[in-house]
């Protein structure tokens, strides 16, 4: 009898655990193989409940034309709309823009992450069931510290971006739509392109155009002359092999041998970890409306030892002591 009671107790406990398993849907703006998404997922796994039942959906907005994004979001919506989610995570601007308004004010808690635009721009704030993590690339801070490594006075910097929604959001938030600005002795010019050939030409001509260095922003939606998407790895490898000036980055996935020198960069893993912690609080009973949207962590210095040596750049002790060094 005692064995029977113990067996029944264990069975009941297992059933209870199964029913308490949170069902989480994560909707990604980009594709599964993209380094940013992989790092986000690593961060989520660090802080989401270990027993969570997680489903991933990918809008593939980097590789597909902009005019197809809404249709792709519609297909994801049809796939998720009737699932009894305990929580949904929206990753980056495209997922938030196209799916956030459909979830706003509903019974499902929503956490957005990697949002470059103000959530008000997408109608996501205020919303009683939503909160999240805002991404604010450290453009100005990074420019101030890195430009001195190349030219300590009157530095001219070119920033290159593609022309997708994320780039538009970054430019809007960081530069208020301006393509030229001055940061003390640093002259900054920002250029956006949709065509890979024009993006490459701007980099090739950087030195002759008077720039001391180039910041590689986002380059993941560039297309060739036929309109076909050019893989981001190909773009970055070409930039590394052909740049006439030192190149730096704003995001950690672009740092390393055969990529850029480095910089004061943001990490998707950090943002995923923060978003996962917020989601866990909500699943434990904290109302989303009581959690103020957070700005992503301030970032960190990250440099490639190989690329520093290649360009003959020596880091000041104060920066090197704080930096993560990679090959």
Cis peptide before 126 (omega within 30 of 0): yes
Do the strands 247-249 and 213-216 form a parallel or antiparallel pair, or are they unpaired? parallel
Which residues contact residue 33 at a Cβ distance below 8 angstroms, ignoring those fewer than 6 apart?
none
Share of residues in the chain with pLDDT > 70 (%):
93
Do the Cβ atoms of 66 and 165 come closer than 8 Å?
yes
DSSP type of residue 228: P
Query: Which pLDDT value is given to residue 12?
Result: 38
**Partner residues linked to 190 by β-bridges:** 159
Q: Which residue has the higher pLDDT, 175 or 272?
A: 272
At 159, the pLDDT band (50, 70, 90 cuts) reads very high
Which residue has tokens 């999240």?
A: 132
CB burial string 293-311: b at 16+ within 10 A, e below = bbebeebebbbbeebbeeb
User: What mean pLDDT comes out for the span 140-162?
Assistant: 80
Query: Which pLDDT value is given to residue 285?
Result: 97
Q: Which residue has the higher pLDDT, 318 or 52?
A: 52
Residue 216, sorted as left (phi over 0), alpha (psi -120 to 50) or beta, turns out to be: beta
Residue 176 has pLDDT above 80, yes or no: no
User: What mean pLDDT comes out for the span 140-155?
Assistant: 74
Give the number of other Cβ atoms within 10 Å of residue 195's Cβ. Answer: 16
At 143, the pLDDT band (50, 70, 90 cuts) reads confident
- Please give the model's pTM, rounded to 2 decimal places: 0.87
Mean of the per-residue pLDDT values of the chain? 90
Query: Which pLDDT value is given to residue 14?
Result: 40
Residue 27 has pLDDT above 60, yes or no: yes
**Residue range 285-297, pLDDT digits in tens:** 999 999 999 988 7
Query: Hey, what are 207's tokens?
Result: 């030195």
Query: Hey, what are 222's tokens?
Result: 């560039």
């Amino acid at each position: 009898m005692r064995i029977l009671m113990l067996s029944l107790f264990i069975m009941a406990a297992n059933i209870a655990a199964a029913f308490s398993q949170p069902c989480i849907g994560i909707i990604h703006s980009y594709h599964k193989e993209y380094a940013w998404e992989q790092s986000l997922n690593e961060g989520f796994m660090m802080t989401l409940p270990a027993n969570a039942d997680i489903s991933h959906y990918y809008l593939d907005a980097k590789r597909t034309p902009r005019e197809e994004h809404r249709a792709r979001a519609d297909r994801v919506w049809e796939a998720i709309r009737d699932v009894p989610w305990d929580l949904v995570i929206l990753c980056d601007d495209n997922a938030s823009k196209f799916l956030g308004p459909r979830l706003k004010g509903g019974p499902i808690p929503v956490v957005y992450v990697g949002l470059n635009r103000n959530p008000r721009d997408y109608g996501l704030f205020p919303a009683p069931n939503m909160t999240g993590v805002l991404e604010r690339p450290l453009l100005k801070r990074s420019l101030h510290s890195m430009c001195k490594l190349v030219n300590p006075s009157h530095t001219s910097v070119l920033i290159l971006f593609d022309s997708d929604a994320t780039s538009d959001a970054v430019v809007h938030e960081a530069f208020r739509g301006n393509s030229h600005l001055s940061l003390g002795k640093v002259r900054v010019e920002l250029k956006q392109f949709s065509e890979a050939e024009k993006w490459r030409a701007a980099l090739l001509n950087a030195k002759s155009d008077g720039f001391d260095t180039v910041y590689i922003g986002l380059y993941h939606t560039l297309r060739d002359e036929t309109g076909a998407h050019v893989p981001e790895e190909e773009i970055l490898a070409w930039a590394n092999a052909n740049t006439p000036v030192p190149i730096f980055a704003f995001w950690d996935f672009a740092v390393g041998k055969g990529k850029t020198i480095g910089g004061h960069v943001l990490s998707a893993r950090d943002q995923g970890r923060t978003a996962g912690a917020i989601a866990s609080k909500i699943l434990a009973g904290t109302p989303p409306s009581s959690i103020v949207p957070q700005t992503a962590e301030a970032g960190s210095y990250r440099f490639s030892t190989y690329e520093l040596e290649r360009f003959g750049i020596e880091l000041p002790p104060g920066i090197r002591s704080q930096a993560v060094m990679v090959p």
